[in-house]
Amino acid sequence: MLHVALFEPEIPPNTGNIARLCAATFTPLHIVGVTGFRMDDKALKRAGLDYWDYVKIYRHIDLEELYESLPNSRFLYFSTKGERIYTDWEYKNGDCLVFGPETRGLPENLLRANWDRCLKIPMPNSNVRSLNLATSVAIALYEALRQVGFPSGYDEKAAKLHPVGEISRHQV
**If you average pLDDT over residues 73-94, what whole number do you get?**
98
Q: Tell me, yes or no, whether 31 lies in a domain.
A: yes
Q: Tell me, yes or no, whether 21 lies in a domain.
A: yes
Query: Between 155 and 96, whose confidence is greater?
Result: 96
Separation of alpha carbons 109 and 98, rounded Å:
15
State the average pLDDT for the chain: 87
* 8 A C-beta contact, residue 23 and residue 55: yes
Q: Tell me, yes or no, whether 8 lies in a domain.
A: yes
Q: Look at residues 68, 69, 46 and name the one whose alpha carbon lies nearest to residue 57.
A: 69
Residues of the chain by 3-state class (helix, strand, coil), percent to 5: 40, 15, 45
Separation of alpha carbons 46 and 141, rounded Å:
22
Helix (H, G, I), strand (E, B) or coil at 118: strand
Quick one: pLDDT at residue 48?
59
**If you average pLDDT over residues 9-33, what whole number do you get?**
93
Which domain CATH number covers 88? 3.40.1280.10
Quick one: pLDDT at residue 67?
98
Q: Tell me, yes or no, whether 47 lies in a domain.
A: yes
Q: Tell me, yes or no, whether 172 lies in a domain.
A: no
Quick one: pLDDT at residue 165?
37
pLDDT-above-90 percentage for the chain = 72
Q: Tell me, yes or no, whether 157 lies in a domain.
A: yes
Q: Tell me, yes or no, whether 153 lies in a domain.
A: yes
Beta bridge partners of 85: 120
pLDDT band at 160 (very low <50, low <70, confident <90, very high): very low
Helix (H, G, I), strand (E, B) or coil at 75: strand
Q: How do residues 97-132 score in pLDDT, each as one tens digit? A: 999 999 999 999 999 999 999 999 999 999 999 999
Asked if pLDDT for residue 135 goes beyond 50, the answer is: yes
Q: Tell me, yes or no, whether 100 lies in a domain.
A: yes
Asked if pLDDT for residue 171 goes beyond 60, the answer is: no
Rounded to two decimals, the pTM is 0.87
Domain count, the chain: 1
Please name the amino acid found at residue 142. Answer: Y
Asked if pLDDT for residue 68 goes beyond 60, the answer is: yes
Quick one: pLDDT at residue 54?
86
Asked if pLDDT for residue 164 goes beyond 80, the answer is: no
Separation of alpha carbons 149 and 13, rounded Å:
28
Quick one: pLDDT at residue 153?
60
Quick one: pLDDT at residue 41?
59
Beta bridge partners of 120: 85
For 154, the domain range is 3-166
